[in-house]
Chains A and B, each alone.
Chain A
Amino acid sequence: MATAEKARLISGPGMLLVWLYGVMVVGAVSRSAVQISTEFGHAPLAYSLSAVAGVVYGFITYSLVRGGETARRAALACCAGELVGVLVVGTWTLVEPSAFPDSTVWSDYGVGYLFIPVLLPISAMYWLRRARSPQGEAG
């Protein structure tokens, strides 16, 4: 088997992760784009958080596709940040609903998105940690 210069992060389960992250990018970015452009004043905090989530998702998707050790570490850090974001925002929306007149992608731990927002970073971190083992080393 030919060894790639960079460790591929999108082989096997990684492909599924790219798809799910891609969906979240489109979901979060388009949602916040529509809401910010049409009714920003209604719930500025919620819409800004959705936009931030979209950017984070976009970066992780890009890192997964790019591959390599640097991208793997960057993606891992972002997944950790994403998980913290989901947990903080999820808790925040439950404790203080008044701060969020409208929901974000991370509201209630992502219940509106089948809990994908909270499950995705966990599975992605599991996958990225496993991908660390040097690939293509002669046995």
Chain B
Amino acid sequence: MLDALTVATAVAALALAAWCGWAASRDQPTKDWHFIGMGVVTLLTAVQLVVGIVQLARGEKPEQGTTIFVAYLLGALACVPVTGFMSLAERTRWGSVTVAAGGVVLAVLEVRLYDIWGG
């Protein structure tokens, strides 16, 4: 369950990065549709956080420690919304680039999460 969610979130994050990168290449700021995309990715990370905590509550242990696991889950949740707000403050193509960078960072976090959980 958690592994499938991690993979799905990583793929969605990369898709978001590609989408916003494309907007940046066309010299466009982030638009409403992009924010819906960010919402979807953020929702995935929120579900991931809940599922992760439920797994911990059931007594399962992440391979590399609970503290690091929870820290990465929280970081993954915060990642895309933060860049979303930054793109609101920067209404140029550079706002789109920032969100794209946020998507890439989230994908990296998901890879690390996969290792930390020990999938």
Contacts and interface: CB of A to CB of B under 8 A. Distances in A.
Given A19-B98, A19-B102, A23-B105, A12 B90 contact: yes
Given A30-B71, A34-B67, A12 B94 contact: yes
B83 interface: yes
B101 interface: yes
A80 to B, nearest CB: 23
Given A18-B86, A19-B86, A23-B105, A12 B92 contact: yes
A74 interface: no
A23 B92 CA distance: 21
B86 A15 contact: yes
A94 interface: no
A19 B71 CA distance: 18
Say which size band chain A's interface belongs to.
10 to 19
Interface in B75-93: 75, 82-83, 86-87, 89-90, 92
Given A18-B86, A30-B71, A34-B68, A13 B101 contact: no
A12 B105 CA distance: 20
Given A11-B90, A23-B105, A114-B108, A16 B98 contact: yes
A26 interface: yes
A125 interface: no
A26 B106 CA distance: 13
Interface of B: 67-68, 71, 75, 82-83, 86-87, 89-90, 92, 94-95, 97-98, 101-102, 105, 108
